Amino acid sequence: MRTISIISAIALALGTSSAFAQIQETGKPAYTGAKMEAVQYLYPEQVTVPAGKSTAVALHFRIKDGLHINSHQPREEYLIPTVLSIPESSGVRLETAEYPAGKDFVLPVDPSTKLLVYTGEFAIQTRIIARSGDHMVEARLRYQACDDNACLPPKTITVPIDVVGK
């Protein structure tokens, strides 16, 4: 029983009491091995566009609850902006990307600092030009996710889109 008390104390100290409660109830840890990214690409998975013509495509994302990411144009130079890119070798060219307006966010530890961030779901409005054919594009979204107290290291996720130019 002493082992359970030590594990319980460690779980509470780490703020994982609900996961520990699941271990006690089921005998198995709640952790499944799957890791949720701070930002998840939602859709579209495939788009068909006129080949060689500039076409509007909206890319939709969701930020994990409790986190925010800096907007495309953060207020401070040292903050890492959110940026979408498409590799030149993909057969698809990113003509423009219009990012949503960021929302004001006040840091609880420093109420005088206002950040410009994205939270929840957001969309980047793009204009792309695709060559004729089927192109599996691995666009990239670079961002830095933070909670109220700290930031994670900057990250780049793959944004897979099957672009068919007809």
Radius of gyration of the chain, Cα coordinates, nearest whole angstrom: 21
Does the pTM surpass 0.85? The reply is: no
Q: Where are the domains of the chain?
A: 1-34, 35-165
Residues 84-93: tens digit of each pLDDT: 999 989 999 9
Distance CA 20, CA 121 (A): 31
Pairing verdict, β 155-165 and 46-49 = parallel
CB 8 within 8 A of CB 124: no
pLDDT at 6: 34
Which superfamily is assigned to 35-165 in CATH?
Thiol:disulfide interchange protein DsbD, N-terminal domain (2.60.40.1250)
CB atoms within 10 A of CB 137: 20
Helices (H), strands (E): how many in the chain? 2, 12
DSSP state of 90: G
Residues 37-74: tens digit of each pLDDT: 899 999 999 999 999 999 999 999 999 999 999 999 99
